[in-house]
Structure 1
Amino acid sequence: MARKTARRKLALWAGAAAGALSLLGAEGTSAAPALKTPERTRPNIIVILFDDVALMDLGAYGGEARTLNIDALARRGALFTGYRTSPLCTPSRAMLLTGIDSHRAGAATIGEVLPPEHRDRPGYALRIQPEILTLAERLRGEGYRTLMAGKWHLGHGPGELPDGQGFDRSLAMDASGADNWAPKSYMPYYREAPWFEDGRPVRMPESFYSSDLLVDRLTRYIDESPAGQKPFFAYLALQAVHIPVQAPARFSDGYRGRFDAGWEALRDERVDKARRNGLLPKDAAVAGFSPNARDWEALSPEERRMAARSMEVYAGMIEAADSAIGRLIRRLEARGELGNTLFVITSDNGPEPSDPVHQRGMGLWMRLNGYAWREEGLGGPGSLNFIGREWAEALAAPGRRYKFYVSEGGLRAPLIVSGPGVAPGRRIDGLTFVTDVTPTLVDLAGARPAPDAPAMDGLSLRSVLAGGEGPVRGSETPLGIEVSGNAALYRGDYKIIRDMPPLGDGRWRLYDVVRDPGETRDLSAADPGRLKLMLADYAAYEARVGVAPVPEGYDMQRQLAANVLARQAPTLLAAAGIALLAMAGAGVLLWRRLRRGRAPP
């Protein structure tokens, strides 16, 4: 923390010195234009991050949920169709907020799936490292107020929460997820839902709804300063639509019957929409469901009703978030600041396939923690709702697979940028990456470079947002990604991919993802030279960022189960000890009674 504070002061001093030199002129020349954008023209910036939302979930991309406010922003701004992120939340968030690869930033994966061999390795501390500047730190150094509300999951101790990473005000939930109706955990890995305000533990209301709570708190932070006095950067990290999938019934009920045809029908619908709106070439093939997917028609009527209702809640949760975002937009309009506010809306990864309810031991844990899984009240308070792998595969269309994997269904996500400096009605198809967000916003805010900070990996999208032509990345520029052994590298129109078990086999494959975004035709045998070149690119990426190889036989799902058990071991041992003491006490009482019964009169 001390190193970070010192570095921040040096960056501010260097920025101030650069500003003074720009006014005086260098080496006696005439005065040069100031590098810093004038105060009155610097935009407010709001980054809205959904959790586990698929590429086509939002209405602007053809999704089923009604997202009228987000769609309006998309029409007034730029809609990206070639944006990729990481397949897991913590690495994505680290890259989003720093512009630096997740391994370099210190958050290469999530603690829930971390093998013991990776603990304390460089890049695997699961927190933003002291030498890395966040977007909030960069903008606060330029006079911005910096505000945050929502999921953090980027460090736990002093100096690692948002208040130690450049945010003036913050309400942060420091876990991979939490209940949306009450301050409690959603899985045995966490004993509680840890909420912090400005770095201090905070007592949450007994009941709330997460999207409303987070938007209300962020709005309160914005209102703490008069409109126009200082620009602000606000980071809204929604819980929608992470497990538990929950929404007010007034939103979920609006989708009654919408998903009754099942997941095969929904995937077919999305594929058809993707062809019509250009997300998928008209003659391109798409992958089918994975071999272990269930046939919708083979389900019982009760199972189909439950599955369809889970998706109704899913769509309702997205609409509920959009409704809350609408209130934020209207508040900015009332303050007279909407026209000078830049919005970034995206997701941290593809859709979530997990089924927490049917895991071993979850029935008891759910009863002890006030959860149920039944059609009545599904998505309401006390409901541990999820959509499961088949719906996730349907939602990932036209991509293959989903969250956790580096197939296109896990990486390809929505990105909408709208506001000052963005040409309206713009569609950007070129390859862009999550690390591009911070350099773009730093550029649009007119922030000066921080000379002592590590260089960002991402590229500024300012030119293409303003209407410029040409690709964001050249065809010879490689872009690597790795999370827990799952790895990919893009170069021009091509991508190599290695998906690990349980769905993958650890082999490298080559795809032309421009003509075959469904990843249906492996070109490894047909183009071995390209595969060899891109494998060399990937090896260079691994060496540059510090990727640690996963242990032999590593399986993400098995590691999650082992880590959950390890986290719960003290509680389980304590419970077992209490049970043994109770049994011993009962045995002593029984022995005494039997002894009294045998005693002579």
Structure 2
Amino acid sequence: MRARTSGILAGLCLLGSLMATPALLAQQEPAEPAGRPNFVLVLVDDAAYMDFGIYGGEARTPVIDRLARRGVMFSNYHSSPLCAPSRAMLLTGLDNHRTGLATIPEVLPPEHRGQPGYGMDLEPGVVTVADRLQAAGYRTYMTGKWHLGHGEGALPDAHGFDRSFVLDASGADNWDETPYMPYYRTADWFEDGQRTHLPDEFYSSEFLVDRMIDYIDTDAGSDDPFFAYLAFQAIHIPVQAPREFTDNYARTYQAGWETLRQARTLRAINLGLIPESTEAMPLPDTMRAWSDLSAADRELYARSMAVNAGMLEAMDHHLGRLVEHLEATGQFDNTIFIVTSDNGPEPSNPVAELGFTTWMNLHGYSREVQNLGERGSYAFIGPEWAMAAAAPFNLFKFYASEGGLRVPFLVAGPGIEAGRSSGAAGYVTDVTPTILDLAGLSHATEELTGRSLRGVISGEAEIAYQPHEAVGFEVSGNSALFRGDYKLVRNMPPWGDGSWQLFDLSVDPGETRDLAGERPEILASMRADYNVYAATNGVLDLPEDYDIHSQISINAFKRQLEFYGWQFALVLVFGIGLITGGIRWWLSRRPR
């Protein structure tokens, strides 16, 4: 009975989301800010374009859905394909190569180490939106994932944040201070630049909201507005959520990834997020068919996706506590909320990597259906579910296809036209100039890569970019250039072939029809634009044999040698001694 009730509730929740299509969002007059507005910037980790309920996802996200109805939701917003570059662009308004975070340290080839733009910290002179707002009298706070540098001078306290409680790594366990991959020895958390530790009772989404509320309340008597950057760990690997949220999706994903991909594509068309002409690429032949899995594997993977949805719902629930607190303290009506994701869904299958299962065991992780998502468990969705979640687009995180770049984006609050959707192009570098413009600091945006979307979100303008203007992206060879309706894209192995392709996103956002052969003049012109972008921003060519997944393994192994080199050396010496002794013993036993 409980499962049936949960299914009914899930259906009602999804129906509510579907009813809130862009065409049906209630129109409201935008309220004017009482003074300088507060800002809450919410960054979800690895959320796909359709993961929020308002975008047609299965997870219950009533808080995010409510904010979307209060403001403007974008259907054509793009981030970078990888977390740290996206975060650098988000917080600075600059191209990632100009910030020092061209890629992430976990995938950096040795040839790029230390080169300009590839230092893996925010470079000297790079100014964040928090720096600028702080100088203008804003109170500035951050909780969550930083991933823009480690150590003194590289953490939020040195980049404009008055108070911060952050994880400096790409991810970590959501229940305690355990690292999530062999690249890290520990999960390091910092408060105001000093190494600190988590409480015994900890769940990431809950704690990050609690600490943010504490920071805001500490300065409650101030007349100065605040900027709050809330960078959730949800839904990054390891995917983890309390059982009460995961159980809401116990039956949601049992039909498999092909069914989900088809359903999401049709839902996106019905919601008006994409044109009716859209086709979705089928799963690549190298991916597994759901029907080919054993019954046990189907149960495990369906539960993994249920945990993924549960983690999103848990995040939304705790975000709701911040919203309720701001309402109770009279601050909500003067607060602008921006909610987005850093990139598309995570395709990694870590247990397929040599030695990873052993590493999991050594760190107390298990991957069993019975407690999946709970303390001590390790869940992930893998490439097939990531491809399904990225529907109606192609590929996922790491790659420059729409599945890796196009993500949800909404802005809500005073001075913003409510109940509206926009198909205008927007990019991650536009967030900082938009915030500064809304804060009355538009003079500080002149040297930035991005531009303010204020005209679009206020309803005063239809677009922020003219059809002839080109916008480029590059992370670890995965590259894209947008110009009007056209997109030039290159995806590297293993899921791409490294060739340049051309698509008309106005009719083919699924990137199913390569126009490179049909429109050679557009291809050549956009290749020239990309070359200008790459030269202007200091993009380095990759080594010829570079493979991003192999590089992760190599870099993780090198880090393990750094962490445990003397233990490895001791074992090696001991092993050599045993072998040498054995050979000598055997030789001594031979008849002369």
**Does structure 1 conserve the Cα–Cα contact (< 8 Å) formed by 2:33 and 2:414?**
no
Cα distance in structure 1, aligned partners of 2:105 and 2:99: 15
* Structure of greater Rg: 1
**Does structure 1 conserve the Cα–Cα contact (< 8 Å) formed by 2:44 and 2:231?**
yes
Cα distance in structure 2, aligned partners of 1:358 and 1:379: 19
**Does structure 2 conserve the Cα–Cα contact (< 8 Å) formed by 1:132 and 1:454?**
no
User: How far has the Cα of 1:43 moved from its partner?
Assistant: 0.5
**Does structure 2 conserve the Cα–Cα contact (< 8 Å) formed by 1:53 and 1:241?**
yes
1:551 match:
543
**Does structure 2 conserve the Cα–Cα contact (< 8 Å) formed by 1:188 and 1:365?**
yes
Normalization by structure 2: what TM-score?
A: 0.91
Cα distance in structure 2, aligned partners of 1:237 and 1:483: 21
Q: 1:477 aligns with which of 434, 453, 469?
A: 469
Q: Secondary structure at the match of 1:376?
A: helix
Q: Secondary structure at the match of 1:325?
A: helix
User: How far has the Cα of 1:432 moved from its partner?
Assistant: 0.6
CA-to-aligned-CA distance 1:171-222 (integer Å, 9 cap, x gap): 0100000000001100100000010000000022234100001000011000
1:215 match:
209
Give % identity: 52
User: How far has the Cα of 1:93 moved from its partner?
Assistant: 0.2
Q: Are 2:482 and 1:529 equivalent residues in the alignment?
A: no
Cα distance in structure 1, aligned partners of 2:289 and 2:154: 45
1:365 match:
359
Gap runs ≥5 in structure 1: 1-37, 592-601
CA-to-aligned-CA distance 1:391-429 (integer Å, 9 cap, x gap): 000000010000000000000000010001210011110
1:83 match:
77
Cα distance in structure 1, aligned partners of 2:494 and 2:318: 38
Q: Are 2:235 and 1:276 equivalent residues in the alignment?
A: no
**Does structure 2 conserve the Cα–Cα contact (< 8 Å) formed by 1:227 and 1:335?**
no
2:35 match:
41
CA-to-aligned-CA distance 1:496-554 (integer Å, 9 cap, x gap): 11111111111111100111000011111111001010000000001111101111121
**Does structure 1 conserve the Cα–Cα contact (< 8 Å) formed by 2:36 and 2:225?**
yes
Cα distance in structure 1, aligned partners of 2:315 and 2:514: 39
Inter-CA distance 448–395: structure 2 relative to 1 (3 Å threshold)? closer
Cα distance in structure 2, aligned partners of 1:491 and 1:44: 33
Report the number of matched residues: 554
Q: Are 2:439 and 1:445 equivalent residues in the alignment?
A: yes
1:18 match:
none
Gap runs ≥5 in structure 2: 1-31, 584-592
User: How far has the Cα of 1:575 moved from its partner?
Assistant: 2.7
User: How far has the Cα of 1:590 moved from its partner?
Assistant: 11
1:312 match:
306
1:119 match:
113
Cα distance in structure 2, aligned partners of 1:577 and 1:84: 47
1:457 match:
449
2:18 match:
none
User: How far has the Cα of 1:44 moved from its partner?
Assistant: 0.5
Farther off after superposition, 489-498 or 572-581: 572-581
User: How far has the Cα of 1:159 moved from its partner?
Assistant: 1.3
Q: Secondary structure at the match of 2:351?
A: coil
Q: Are 2:323 and 1:323 equivalent residues in the alignment?
A: no
**Does structure 2 conserve the Cα–Cα contact (< 8 Å) formed by 1:183 and 1:205?**
no
Q: Are 2:512 and 1:513 equivalent residues in the alignment?
A: no
Cα distance in structure 1, aligned partners of 2:551 and 2:574: 33
Return the letter of the residue paired with 1:479: V
User: How far has the Cα of 1:579 moved from its partner?
Assistant: 3.1
1:97 match:
91
CA RMSD of aligned residues (A): 2.0
Cα distance in structure 2, aligned partners of 1:515 and 1:95: 28
**Does structure 2 conserve the Cα–Cα contact (< 8 Å) formed by 1:423 and 1:467?**
yes
1:16 match:
none
Inter-CA distance 584–354: structure 2 relative to 1 (3 Å threshold)? closer
In the TM superposition, 1:108-257 aligns within 5 A as 108-226=102-220, 229-257=223-251
Q: Secondary structure at the match of 1:41?
A: coil
1:567 match:
559
Inter-CA distance 375–446: structure 2 relative to 1 (3 Å threshold)? same
Farther off after superposition, 575-584 or 269-278: 575-584
Q: Secondary structure at the match of 1:127?
A: coil
1:496 match:
488
**Does structure 2 conserve the Cα–Cα contact (< 8 Å) formed by 1:227 and 1:337?**
no
User: How far has the Cα of 1:370 moved from its partner?
Assistant: 0.6
Q: Are 2:554 and 1:579 equivalent residues in the alignment?
A: no
Cα distance in structure 2, aligned partners of 1:583 and 1:128: 44
1:33 match:
none
4+ aligned runs moved over 4 Å, structure 1: 580-591
Normalization by structure 1: what TM-score?
A: 0.89
Return the letter of the residue paired with 1:252: T
User: How far has the Cα of 1:468 moved from its partner?
Assistant: 1.8
Q: Are 2:352 and 1:388 equivalent residues in the alignment?
A: no
Cα distance in structure 2, aligned partners of 1:435 and 1:580: 49
**Does structure 1 conserve the Cα–Cα contact (< 8 Å) formed by 2:185 and 2:563?**
no
**Does structure 2 conserve the Cα–Cα contact (< 8 Å) formed by 1:407 and 1:497?**
yes
1:541 match:
533
Cα distance in structure 2, aligned partners of 1:193 and 1:295: 36
**Does structure 2 conserve the Cα–Cα contact (< 8 Å) formed by 1:357 and 1:384?**
no
Inter-CA distance 134–439: structure 2 relative to 1 (3 Å threshold)? same
1:467 match:
459
Q: Secondary structure at the match of 1:449?
A: helix
Cα distance in structure 1, aligned partners of 2:575 and 2:108: 37
User: How far has the Cα of 1:133 moved from its partner?
Assistant: 1.1
Return the letter of the residue paired with 2:303: R
Q: Are 2:274 and 1:299 equivalent residues in the alignment?
A: no
**Does structure 2 conserve the Cα–Cα contact (< 8 Å) formed by 1:100 and 1:458?**
yes
